[in-house]
Amino acid sequence: MKLIRRDELVKRIIERTRLPETTIWRVFDAVFEEIGRALARGEVVHIIRFGTFDLRHYPKRMGVHPRTLEQIPYPTRIAPSFRSSAALKRAIRRWVEEEGVTPEELAAFHLERIRRRTRRKAEVQAAEPATEPAP
């Protein structure tokens, strides 16, 4: 398994539809921009047989800095969320069977992504200068 980026996805759409590349890029960008703008207006975007895009609201809270153990206020934030439809879930199960991908391969791919992310986070933290708490 591999990570598919935006340009690879557009190439695959061009191959399937045989439409001009500039047209595909314009539509691709317009669709995702409009989803983002609709969410910013407070709308929920529901695409039948695909899923629902929505916003999640996280209230302000207090956290703890892991090194200094000092209290850190986290502000209220809003984050996009996606809930896949039952039809998409069924289609993915069918496509996984057709492609011959085993559940173990899927799990290994996702575990490797998590390991890479954790490794990068540790490297960034190691590169940060250590700060001593004030006496």
Residue by residue, DSSP assigns 17-57 as: H---HHHHHHHHHHHHHHHHHHHHTT--EEETTTEEEEEEE
Spatial separation of the C-alpha atoms in residues 134 and 59, rounded to whole Å: 29
Look up the pTM and report it: 0.70
Using pLDDT thresholds of 50, 70 and 90, give the confidence band for residue 78.
very high
What is the reported pLDDT for 119? 83
Using pLDDT thresholds of 50, 70 and 90, give the confidence band for residue 132.
low
Contact assessment for residue 124 and residue 116, using Cβ atoms and an 8 Å cutoff: no
Of 88, 87, 57, 61, the residue nearest 72 (C-alpha) = 61
Taking only the tens place, the pLDDT of each residue in 88-131 is 999 988 888 888 888 788 888 878 888 888 888 787 777 776 55
Spatial separation of the C-alpha atoms in residues 22 and 25, rounded to whole Å: 5
Taking only the tens place, the pLDDT of each residue in 6-41 is 999 999 999 999 999 999 999 999 999 999 999 999
What is the reported pLDDT for 134? 53
How would you label 16-47 residue by residue, b for 16+ Cβ within 10 Å and e otherwise? eeeeeeeebeeeeeeeeeebeeebeeeeebee
Bigger pLDDT: 116 vs 64: 64
